[in-house]
Amino acid sequence: MSQDNQTLMLKSRFLSLLTVLLFATGCATSVTKDILVDADADPKANFSAYKSYAWLGSATIVYDETGRWEPPAFDADSEIKFLIDRELRKRGMVEDSFTPDMIVVFAAGVDMDVMQYKVDPESEIDVLENVPLGALSIVLVDAETEVVIWAGLATAEIQDDPTTEVVKKRLDYAVTNMLKELPR
């Protein structure tokens, strides 16, 4: 095989790989595009001093008896806790139930009755439409002083009948991006 053919083949493989990566990124973005993330930290807190954490009791999520936003047999509480644990461990923190530096708590909720104006595609007129909203809040508290040192909030439109994979991607996006805002 000539040098030109090898170069052409490598370029072709590179372009194919790039196309796949861009497509995958586009898919992930479309699944999470409505999620808004915000966080705020206590400017006096020395975040580099926090090395361990403990969970405050058991966090619960609003029960979805209709199955509209949480797939059957999917445990959102456990998934959220897993994701928060993962992100805190990436920062070098360890879970310590006996002498933690900070306490972690989260809460999630859904408001199925939110109404918003949406453009009707047929008439191009704003119409009032039910757009259920969900929110996930993560709060970090200094264990010694019991003062909130950081709080993050993610909000999003609730998707009808999502798959477990979609819910996991959306939760992962929300938790990861919230905790990126945690100062070092």
Total residue length of the chain: 184
Of the pLDDT bands very low, low, confident and very high (cuts 50, 70, 90), residue 109 is: confident
The percentage of residues in the chain with a pLDDT greater than 90, rounded to a whole number, is 47
DSSP code string of 109-170: EEETT-EEEEE-TTT--EEEEE--EEEEEEEEEETTT--EEEEEEEEEEPPSS--HHHHHHH
Q: Residues 118-139: pLDDT tens digits?
A: 787 888 887 777 666 788 999 9
Starting at the edge strand found earlier in the chain, the sheet holding 133-142 runs 36-41, 148-157, 133-142, 102-111, 52-55, 94-95
CB 111 within 8 A of CB 64: no
Q: Tell me what the mean pLDDT of segment 14-35 comes to.
A: 50
Tokens of 86: 């993962």
Q: Report angle CA 16, 22, 28 to the nearest 5 degrees.
A: 140
Residue 53 has pLDDT above 90, yes or no: yes
Angle between the N-to-C axes of helices 164-179 and 76-90, in degrees from 0 to 180, rounded to the nearest 10: 40
Condensed to tens digits (0 to 9), the pLDDT of residues 59-101 reads 556 555 565 566 777 888 899 999 999 999 999 999 999 999 9
Instruction: Return the pLDDT at 50.
Output: 97
- What pLDDT, on the 0 to 100 scale, is given for residue 17? 32
pLDDT for res 178: 96
Residues 6+ apart with CB under 8 A from 40: 150, 151, 152
Assigned CATH topology for domain 34-179: Double Stranded RNA Binding Domain (3.30.160)
